[in-house]
Amino acid sequence: MSPLTPSTFSCHSVMLCIVLLLAHHIQPVNSHYYGSCIGSRDRSKAEASVCTTDDIYVYVNTNHGSLTDSCYNAASQARVRVTGSGVTTFDRRSTIGTVGASSNWASIPNCLGATVTGSNTNMICKANGMQPHHCSGGSSNWFRYGPISKNGATALTISVYGMGCDSGSPRRTWNFTPKLCRCTTTGQGLSGSGCSKCLIGKSAKDGISSCAPCTSGKYQNQNAASAWGCVGLELYLTKLIF
């Protein structure tokens, strides 16, 4: 039997005709959100290698060239929300009045440096062609949110909402934990399990090195190292005397 065509199709009841006609004409609303990812200002750095010491951003791809039309008056349009244990929630969206004073509004398409020029607050800015190489989407329009709040190697939950008359619920929610690449507490050593104090007789030469025994003529005679690198004999004797 050949497929039914409009000329051969027939309805057996009025209700059936209505249902079939509605199914034929009603199409799903296309999303204006095309994709999102986590990244830093280093476009070559993959998501898995983004460090706790990096400025971390959320990049969002949309078919909208700007975030300023009437669609963005809805409560959660173009919103990015990032939460995590011990971190200040990052919650930004495009409409002036919901992200704070007008001085906190991004100067699109100015997207240089850690934050938008002329502001020290977390921002949204246009990032066409500036997104990390691992980010992909079906449009050339990219927006960068951040830098986002973080607390070392803490798991973060990222929610990206609809873009421009899109759904009010998150289009994507995922978890991300930045990589611990450097210890920021002076004297700590870096290992596979994280940063830890270097104990008596050991020291780390810098924030990206592990604790190791001091070499001959070098000393670290404290319960926890107060500096990176073992001290020389002269400084060690001075500490003993004074």
The answer to whether 65 and 141 are in contact (CB under 8 A) is yes
pLDDT for 184? 86
Most confidently predicted of 115-119, 172-176, 189-193: 172-176
**Model confidence band, residue 103 (pLDDT cutoffs 50, 70, 90):** low
Distance, C-alpha 139 to centroid of its chain: 19
Whether the predicted pLDDT of 137 surpasses 50? yes
User: In 3D, which of 236, 215, 146, 227 has the Cα closest to residue 187?
Assistant: 227
Is residue 1 scored above 60 in pLDDT? Answer: no
Average pLDDT over every residue of 132-146: 92
Q: Is the pLDDT of residue 210 over 90?
A: yes
Lowest mean pLDDT among 35-49, 60-74, 187-201: 60-74
> Over 50: is that where the pLDDT of 189 sits?
yes
Confidence check: pLDDT of 9 > 50: no
List pLDDT tens digits, range 171-187. Answer: 999 999 999 998 888 99
User: What is the C-alpha to C-alpha distance for residues 78 and 60, in angstroms, rounded to an integer?
Assistant: 9
pTM value is 0.71
- Residue 151 predicted with pLDDT over 60: yes
- The pLDDT of 217-230, averaged and rounded, is 87
Which of left, alpha, beta for 201 (phi over 0: left; psi -120 to 50: alpha)? left
Query: Does pLDDT of 26 surpass 80?
Result: no
Are the CB atoms for 20 and 4 separated by under 8 Å? no
Q: What is the pLDDT of residue 109?
A: 61
